[in-house]
């Protein structure tokens, strides 16, 4: 078996360091700089010849910069003679653009797959993909890592009497994730029907199931502008729900997300550290749980 070397991009160094600790490894040496015109520069200063290199990088904001950095690290690893190159993407960039809704649209999630492969990646490990359909874009191996295992013990501690709780899927796409939580916690599943009049706006058409007098756990794969969860939380309160907790794997938190969350009736947000939050993305309502162990396990078994 070839030596495993972990390299980190700049997007989520704390998670990369935690993964390395779990594996009793040190992060490999790499120099990443920005020129004054904002172009990025990458040089691997570790000897990676003949090694299996794992590149850990989240496709978080600024997504385009972080994406090009991943491609540059892959290219540098290949030129330095790495035997295998696995990109570990706790948060895959462009994951939501996995289909063309109107003619003339780019399928960006497929383009990302092509770019990773063309740069020299030999496999991919990704955290909770938006939909398993994304796997079909790859001809190299891709492992979709389920992250809910890290959430279940934390959510269990929130529940005092299962009869008073239900899980809410905020749209049809989140039913699979919500079912995992509903089964694990043994509480019923309710579905909200969401509609997007435009890309970043949300309306809730109806709620299928009874939430009156119940504490609710909304389950979603990501919080982006927080438009979805805030609109759903309001609709649930209007229907008599009590405390509202949100469990979401990826805290993208773009635009006015923090303001929306602060002003919402969501009591608590449990999310993961697939994305390293900036100082402007902090909120007392947010608790981040670590998924380092899950990724370390995936790397160990790869």
Catalytic residues: 194
Question: Which of 228, 249, 271, 274 touches ligand R5P by CB under 6 A?
Answer: 228
53 closest CA partner among 77, 72, 80, 29 = 77
**Smallest distance from ligand R5P to CB 207, Å:** 15
Distance (Å, whole) CA 53 – CA 48: 7
Q: Which of 124, 178, 222, 246 binds ligand R5P (CB under 6 A)?
A: 222
Mention every residue, 6+ apart, whose C-beta is less than 8 A from residue 227. Answer: 200, 201, 202, 260
For the chain, how many helices (H) and strands (E)? 8, 14
Helices (H), the chain: 13-22, 63-79, 108-119, 148-158, 175-185, 227-238, 257-262, 292-300
Using rule CB under 6 A, residue 188 touches ligand R5P = no
Residue 97 is a binding residue for ligand R5P (CB under 6 A): no
Q: Does 178 contact ligand R5P by CB under 6 A?
A: no
Q: Give yes or no for a contact between 247 and 270, defined as CB atoms under 8 angstroms apart.
A: yes
Question: Which residue stretch of 84-92, 169-177, 206-214, 238-246 sits at the interface with ligand R5P (rule: CB under 6 A)?
Answer: 169-177
User: Which residue lies nearer to ligand R5P by CB, 266 or 292?
Assistant: 266
- The SS3 call for residue 201 is coil
For residues 18 and 222, which CB has a smaller minimum distance to ligand R5P in the complex? 222
Integer Cα distance of 11 and 210 in angstroms: 41
174 binds ligand R5P (CB under 6 A): yes
Our finding on whether 16 is near ligand R5P (CB under 6 A) is: no
Q: Between residues 84 and 173, which has the closer beta carbon with respect to ligand R5P?
A: 173
Residue 224 lies near ligand R5P (rule: CB under 6 A): yes
28 or 127: whose CB is closer to ligand R5P? 127
Q: Are 52 and 5 in contact (CB under 8 A)?
A: yes
φ, ψ for residue 190, nearest 5 deg = -120, 145
With the C-alpha atoms ordered 32, 275, 53, 136, is the resulting torsion angle positive or negative?
Answer: negative
Please state the closest distance from residue 227 (CB atom) to ligand R5P, in A: 4
Phi, psi of 69 (to 5 degrees): -60, -40
Q: With binding defined as CB under 6 A, does residue 221 bind ligand R5P?
A: yes
Choose one: 1-9, 19-27, 44-52, 221-229; the region binding ligand R5P (CB under 6 A).
221-229
- DSSP reduced 3-state for 195: strand
Whose Cβ is closer to ligand R5P: residue 72's or residue 249's? 249
- Closest distance to ligand R5P from the beta carbon of 136 (Å): 18
68 alpha carbon, distance to own chain's centre: 18
Count of CB atoms situated within 10 Å of the CB of 79: 11
> Least distance (Å) from ligand R5P to the CB of residue 160?
28
Conformation bin of residue 42: beta by default, left when phi > 0, alpha when psi is -120 to 50: beta
To ligand R5P, the closest distance from the beta carbon of 276 in angstroms equals 18
Tell me if 272 contacts ligand R5P by CB under 6 A.
Answer: no
98 near ligand R5P (CB under 6 A): no
- Site for ligand R5P contains 225 (CB under 6 A): yes
Smaller CB separation from ligand R5P, 7 or 229: 229
Per CB under 6 A, 227 contacts ligand R5P: yes
Binding site for ligand R5P (CB under 6 A): 96, 170-171, 173-174, 200, 202, 220-228
């Amino acid at each position: 078996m070839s030596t495993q070397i972990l390299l980190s991009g700049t997007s989520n160094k704390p998670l990369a360091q935690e993964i390395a600790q779990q594996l009793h490894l040190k992060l490999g040496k790499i120099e990443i700089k920005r020129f004054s015109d904002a172009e990025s520069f990458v040089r691997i200063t570790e000897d990676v010849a003949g090694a299996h290199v794992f590149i850990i990088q989240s496709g978080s904001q600024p997504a385009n910069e972080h994406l090009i950095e991943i491609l540059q690290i892959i290219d540098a690893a290949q030129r330095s003679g790495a035997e295998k190159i696995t990109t570990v993407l706790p948060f895959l960039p462009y994951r939501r653009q996995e289909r063309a809704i109107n003619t003339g649209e780019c399928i960006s999630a497929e383009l990302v797959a092509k770019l990773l492969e063309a740069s020299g990646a030999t496999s991919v490990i990704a955290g909770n993909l938006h939909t398993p359909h994304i796997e079909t874009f790859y001809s190299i191996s891709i492992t979709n890592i389920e992250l809910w295992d890290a959430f279940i013990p934390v959510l269990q501690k929130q529940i005092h009497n299962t009869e008073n709780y239900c899980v809410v899927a905020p749209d049809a796409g989140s039913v699979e994730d919500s079912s995992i939580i509903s089964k694990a916690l043994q509480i019923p599943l309710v579905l909200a029907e969401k509609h997007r009049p435009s890309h970043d706006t949300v309306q809730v058409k109806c709620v299928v199931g009874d939430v009156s007098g119940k504490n609710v756990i909304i389950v979603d794969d990501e919080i982006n502008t927080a438009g979805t969860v805030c609109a759903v939380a309001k609709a649930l309160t209007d229907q008599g729900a009590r405390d509202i907790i949100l469990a979401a794997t990826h805290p993208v938190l773009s635009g006015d997300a923090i303001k929306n969350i602060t002003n919402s009736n969501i009591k608590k947000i449990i999310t993961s550290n697939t994305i390293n939050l900036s100082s402007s993305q902090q909120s007392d309502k947010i608790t981040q749980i670590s998924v380092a162990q899950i990724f370390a396990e995936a790397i160990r078994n790869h």
